[in-house]
Every structure is written in structure tokens, then in C-alpha cells.
Structure 1
Amino acid sequence: MNLNEYTLERFANQHKTIKNYIDDLPPEAIYNRLNPDKFSIHETIAYLTRYQHIFIDRLNRITNEVNPYFEIYKPETDPDFAFTCAKTTGSLLHEMYRLRGNLCLMLEEMPSEHYARVATHAVLGRMAVNQWTEFFLLHESSQQFKIFKLAGSFWSMQVEKHPDIIYLPRLTNYIDELAV
């Protein structure tokens, strides 16, 4: 059983909405933590980018091993996460787009019999490739909602600090490092 066309469509495009959420934000809104205990927008994007590498590794293991077991991904225990966070937001988005293209090809070219292969997640249990893909999309969607809320919270906090100032989006006649 292959992935259905709607799942592939979501997989190919869902991540592209992140740019819309952050387009008009100044760097301090992207790089600073609004809550010291929670990731910033930039760190969340780094997390999503790094998680694509994790998902590629998991798919490779699922297709090459019998029922591999995966712990919950925790960025604080991943030595490569700090390196990923050190990149600019623009370079992270470019990397995310590139990796997603690779992942789409991987899923589209996967032999039909591999879609029945399973792996076990520490919390979610045993899942086939199509379920792992849905989990990936739901997890990514949850992180995107956090970015959406953080962007809105930044503007709300700015209005509270300066209620007499009207905030307008930045001019768009600059070279957009986030453009694809």
C-alpha cells in the first residue's frame, strides 16, 4: 500500500507555510525566546530541519531492518542539534526545502512492498511507513502551530509595550534570504 495522493501533497507542501508565518517579523522576534523555557521561532525551525534528517534515517532503517525500535527524538540529547541551531533561519529553510524534496523522492520511489514494513515508536507503538509519514506530518503541523502562536505573541507584546505605535510589515523590496 503506497501513500495516498493527499498525504503526498501535504508532505510536499506543508512545510512551505512557515515562511508566511515569519515573513514580517524582525530578527528579535525570530531569534529571541519569548518564554525562557520554550524554543524560539528559530530554534523551532532548527528542530524541524533536524527532524527531517532523523526521519530520513528512520525510513532507511525501516526499509533495511526488521521492526526497528525508535526512542522519542529529544534535541537536547542530539549533538547535531546545536550545530543546526547555529545556522541562519534562511539557511535552515533552504535546507528544509532540500531535505523535503529528497524525502518526497524517497517516498515516491519506495517499492510498494516497503510501505508494509513496520517500526516501533517508544510511545506510539508499532507503525507502518504510511503511519510514520502521517506522524511526521502531524508532528510538523504541531510545531508550525507553535511558530504561528509565537509570531502572534511577539506582535501582541509589542503593542502592549507601545500602544500608540502602529506596526507595519517590513518593506518587501529587499533581497529575501528566505525565498525559495
Structure 2
Amino acid sequence: MLPYRSLLDRLHTQHESIDVIIRTLPHEKLVAAPVPGKWSIKDNIAHLARYQAVFIERINRIASGSRPLFESYVAEHDADFPAWQKWDLPILLDRLYADRKYIFDLVNGLSCTQVETTGRHQRFGEMKMIEWTEFFLLHEAHHLFTIFKLAHGATS
């Protein structure tokens, strides 16, 4: 199964909602943790940007055909994530947009054979490339909703 329209549409544009959500927010609102120990809006954006880099590594490994096994990604266990949290927001957004273009071009250019390659997730089992992309987008949507809620005063 080649990438379907809604998958490609979301992959191409879903992340753009960040700009709309945060456009008018003051810096203090972007960096304020809603409650101690919870991520700010900026931390959520750093997580999305970092996870895109992780996803690129994963889909390249899956495309190799070796059926790799991946553990669940946990930002708190990622030694690189704290550095991403320190990046300025414009740098994070630039990286997010650049990596998304790469991911979109890669997924959109998959051959029928590449679409059938699989990787294994410790919790969700074996998934084809399209399923991994759907998983990526659903994960991102969860964080976009969190960003939306934080922008509008919700703490959870």
C-alpha cells in the first residue's frame, strides 16, 4: 500500500498548526511550566523537533530491511533531549520544518517494496513503514493538542 492522501496531507502540514497556536503568545507563556515537572509549550516543541530526528533514524533503519526492534522513545531517557530544550524557539522551529520536509519527501518517495518493509516496536509489534508514519503523526497530534491546551490556560 502506497502512502495514502490523508497521511501525506497530515505529514505535509500538520506541524504548521504550531505557528498558529503560538503566534500571539508572550515569551513567558511559551516557557512557563504549567505545573512543576510538566513540560512547557517550548519543551513540547523541543520534544517534537527531537523526535523527528529520532524518527528519521528509525525509518532509515526500517528501510534497510533488517526488521529492527525499537524501544518506546522516552525523552527523559534521551541524553540529547536536554540540549534540544535549551535551543531558542526559532532554531527549534527551523529544525522542525527542515526535518519535516525531509520526512515528507522520504515517505512520499517510497517504492511499493519500501512501503512493505517493517520495524518492530516493543509495545505495538511489527509495523510497516506506513504504520510507523501514522504512529508518528498520532504522537505529534497528541503534543499539538497539549500545546493548544497550554496556550489556552489548561494545565493538563
Q: TM-score, normalised by structure 1?
A: 0.83
Q: Cα distance, 1:110 vs. partner?
A: 2.0
Which moves more between the two structures, 40-49 or 18-27?
18-27
User: Is residue 149 from structure 1 mapped to residue 153 from structure 2 by the alignment?
Assistant: no
| % identity of equivalent residues | 36
Give the Cα–Cα distance (whole angstroms) in 1 for the partners of residues 37 and 123 of structure 2: 23
User: Which aligned segments of 4 or more residues in structure 1 are displaced greater than 2 angstroms?
Assistant: none
How far off is 1:125 after superposition?
1.3
Question: What does 1:114-125 correspond to in 2, within 5 Å?
Answer: 114-125=114-125
State whether structure 2 residue 138 is matched by structure 1 residue 138: yes
Partner of 2:12: 12
TM-score w.r.t. length of structure 2? 0.95
SS of residue in 2 equivalent to 1:73 = coil
1:108-132 alpha-carbon deviations (Å, 9 max, x no partner): 2222201011111111111101111
RMSD over aligned Cα atoms: 1.3
Please give the secondary structure, in 1, of the residue aligned with 2:120: strand
- 2:3 aligns with 3
Q: Which residue type is aligned with residue 18 of structure 2?
A: I
In the aligned structure 2, how far is the partner of 1:6 from the partner of 1:65? 25
The equivalent of 1:71 in structure 2 is 71
Q: With CA pairs under 8 Å and 6+ residues apart, which has the higher RCO, 1 or 2? A: 2
Letter in 2 for 1:67: R
- Which amino acid in structure 1 is aligned with residue 31 of structure 2? Y
5+ long unaligned stretches in structure 1: 157-180
Q: Give, as a single letter, the amino acid of the residue that structure 2 aligns with 1:102.
A: Y
State the number of aligned residues: 155
Tell me how far apart the structure 2 counterparts of residues 49 and 132 of structure 1 sit (CA, whole Å).
Answer: 17
Q: Distance in 2 between matches of 1:66 and 1:30?
A: 41
C-alpha distance in 2 between matches for 1:8 and 1:68: 24
Task: Kindly provide the amino acid, as one letter, of the partner of residue 40 in structure 1.
Answer: S
Distance 2:36 2:4 in 1: 40
In structure 2, what is the equivalent of residue 175 of structure 1? none
Residue 82 of structure 1 aligns with an amino acid whose one-letter code is: P
Instruction: Indicate if the aligned counterparts of 2:65 and 2:118 stay in contact, CA closer than 8 A.
Output: no
- Residue of structure 1 in register with 2:53 after alignment: 53
